[in-house]
Amino acid sequence: MTLEAGPHAPGGASTGRDAVRSRLIDVAADLLAQQGPAAVTTRAVAAAAGVQAPTIYRVFGDKDGLLDAVAERAAQEFVAAKARAARDEAGRGADPLEDLRSAFFAQVDFGVANPEVFRLLGDPARVLRSGAARAGLAVLRARVHRVALAGRLRVPEQRCVDLVQSAGTGVIQTLLATPAGERDPQLAASMWEAVVAAVLVQDTASAGAPAAAEQASAATLVAFRAMAPELPGLNAAERGLLVDWLHRAEAAAHD
């Protein structure tokens, strides 16, 4: 007996196909986590799921399509949790920098705990076609935007997004490439501090008065650029023009 959906399957063929698809993803994810990508063969997945091997090709196109689905589901679950946390944080007026910090460490923890999924999601071609990856990036951008609105960001928002994302990915790759017993437990914290030093306004004591004043000026420009699209009293064309001016000024300040 297989999991194939027949014409009289409860809920209809579509529901049956969805159940088969979900079961195949479950099985492939288990094999991936327990034995690595080499174990995720069409024969092994089909046998464990109780279906014929051609079912995988009908549902996913090929083995790579199945791996895409495994990575996408894991990413969707992680991103959904991040999005809920981000909404809760914004709703209670939490410190935007602490929210961004928590998200950074959550990303690192997820990658280290799910190495095979991380490697799948680290494939640039897979990321480009991943809806979950785009959703995750949107959550990160929203968090960075809140830091900018608070007047604490002295670099363009996109640069901060790129730095946070790159730093997290680099930490995960380094930790996974190091034997578990030899990993530096402070690596993520040190990388986070490096990102903070590169993107945030520093106090006068650590930056020196002239540098602190320059950073404060840059942060004001970034904050104004962040709030410009929502400024009241302007029509769409005026807002667009203001945003363009501020974008050019921001870019010139960081050339």
Q: Which of 54-58, 74-78, 101-105, 161-165 has the lowest mean pLDDT?
A: 74-78
**Number of domains forming the structure of the chain:** 2
Residues 114 and 191 in one domain: yes
Q: Is residue 66 part of a domain?
A: no
Domain stops at, among 11, 28, 61 = 61
| Residues 234, 242 contacting (CB under 8 angstroms) | yes
Residues 34 and 88 in one domain: no
Residues 109 and 139 in one domain: yes
Residues 155 and 229 in one domain: yes
Span 180-202, mean pLDDT?
95
Q: For 11-66, write each residue's pLDDT tens digit.
A: 444 467 889 999 999 999 999 988 888 888 999 999 999 999 899 999 999 888 89
pLDDT of residue 89: 66
pLDDT at 9 over 60: no
Domain that holds residue 36: 1-61
pLDDT at 6 over 50: no
- Residues with Cβ within 8 Å of 15's Cβ and at least 6 positions away in sequence, in order, are 5, 9
Q: For 157-188, write each residue's pLDDT tens digit.
A: 999 999 999 999 999 999 999 999 999 999 99
Give the Cα separation of 24 and 17 in Å (integer): 11
Residues 82 and 22 in one domain: no
Q: Is residue 92 part of a domain?
A: yes
CA angle 135, 137, 139 (to 5 degrees): 75
Q: For 110-148, write each residue's pLDDT tens digit.
A: 999 989 888 888 888 878 888 888 888 999 999 999 999
Residues 86 and 180 in one domain: yes
Q: Is residue 235 part of a domain?
A: yes
Residues 85 and 54 in one domain: no
* Per-residue confidence band for 83, with pLDDT thresholds at 50, 70 and 90: confident
Residues 156 and 126 in one domain: yes
Handedness of CA 62, 67, 68, 70 (dihedral sign): positive
Q: Is residue 163 part of a domain?
A: yes
Q: How high is the mean pLDDT of the chain?
A: 84
Q: Is residue 96 part of a domain?
A: yes
* Per-residue confidence band for 81, with pLDDT thresholds at 50, 70 and 90: confident
Residues 131 and 203 in one domain: yes
pLDDT of residue 117: 86
| Residues 114, 33 contacting (CB under 8 angstroms) | yes
pLDDT at 202 over 50: yes
User: The domain that contains 57 carries what CATH number?
Assistant: 1.10.10.60
| Residues 51, 20 contacting (CB under 8 angstroms) | yes
Q: Is residue 80 part of a domain?
A: yes
